[in-house]
Amino acid sequence: MEKVKPCTAQYDRTVYSSFRTRDILTRGFDEIQILLRYLYMNEDHAIIFDNGLCKLEIKMTPSMDLTARNLNFPDFPATHRPIELPELLGIIEQLEETPAVEYPDSFANRWEEVKTICASTMVQNYIKK
């Protein structure tokens, strides 16, 4: 009998595109909130992910629109584009497998880095009155 390898992905992509699941309810929305907060905190905050065709840099504008810039064509301006919730979950999965960018010696992956930066900024904002 062949041993089945455990799935390393947090979310089953074939499921979350058409069904409601417990992992999305209990973790998925919290993680989407962290990602959106990170992008909102600073105009310079960006994430890079591979959509299968190219690498895209995602940022948030001051008016809270998400923009994507195709890194294959760096001279072209970023464009506003809707990003669906399942796509955000897929981006988070990729960030879990991507090396840290801002503090490469301090974090195991980009997602841990994003979560920590977001958490420390949120603490500072809760303390300020």
Residue pLDDT, tens place only, 73-86: 989 999 998 888 88
Domain coverage including residue 34: 13-127
Q: Are strands 79-80 and 55-60 parallel, antiparallel or unpaired?
A: unpaired
Give a yes or no: residue 4 inside a domain: no
Give a yes or no: residue 59 inside a domain: yes
For 101-121, the pLDDT digits (tens) are 999 999 999 999 999 999 999
Give a yes or no: residue 8 inside a domain: no
pTM of the model: 0.82
- Which positions ≥6 away from 89 have C-beta within 8 Å? 10, 11, 16, 24, 28, 31, 32
Give a yes or no: residue 2 inside a domain: no
- Which pLDDT does position 4 carry in this prediction? 38
| Four-residue CA torsion sign, 63, 64, 69, 74 | positive
Give a yes or no: residue 101 inside a domain: yes
Give a yes or no: residue 100 inside a domain: yes
| Number of domains the chain is built from | 1
- Which positions ≥6 away from 121 have C-beta within 8 Å? 37, 41
Rounded to 5°, angle at Cα 78 from 73 and 79: 120
Q: How confident is the model at residue 69 (pLDDT cuts 50, 70, 90)?
A: very high
Give a yes or no: residue 102 inside a domain: yes
Give a yes or no: residue 31 inside a domain: yes
